[in-house]
Amino acid sequence: MEGKGVRAPFTAVIMGVLILGLVVAKIEAKSCCRNTLGRNCYNACRVPGTPRPTCATLCDCIHVTGNTCPPSHPRSGMLEIDYGNLAVTCPNDELRECFTKCIESEGQNVEACANKCGCYVSM
């Protein structure tokens, strides 16, 4: 009987950490598709709330964590900027402007500016 008072708060803390981990993983994950058709398919599939893994399988897309889509699945569906053999993708106009200014004013390399401004690099 003495251990019951300790068990409930401990269980609540463990559950909270697990739920937080799931939320962070969901936020960090992004989808990469082979082409624009796959990206459009994935976006349309997700509208009614279809699970991400189901849409990825149906539309030939994959989920990755990090900032880079693999060469086999280069399309992320965000705003893309082409730099030779690298494609830089920014989630919105503000981040794209940050990236463009970084490249022009600071002369940093593409990957450094992409990381600084929250954009993604694919090959």
Using one digit for the tens of pLDDT, what is the confidence trace for 39-55?
Answer: 888 888 888 888 889 99
Alpha-carbon distance of 43 to 52, in angstroms, equals 10
Tokens 């936020």 belong to residue: 27
More confident: 2 or 101: 101
Identify the helix (H) or strand (E) that includes residue 70: none
Q: Is the pTM of this model over 0.75?
A: no
The dihedral through the CA atoms of 25, 30, 71, 113 has a sign that is negative
Mean pLDDT, residues 69-98 taken together: 70
pLDDT digits (tens, 9 = 90+) for 7-38: 666 666 666 555 544 444 344 457 888 887 88
**Alpha carbon 115 to chain centroid, angstroms:** 13
Closest CA to 73 of 90, 56, 92, 95: 56
User: Is residue 73 within 8 Å of residue 62, measured between CB atoms?
Assistant: yes
Longest dimension (CA), the chain: 68
- The structural domains of the chain, ordered by start, are 31-66 (3.30.1350.10), 78-123 (3.30.1350)
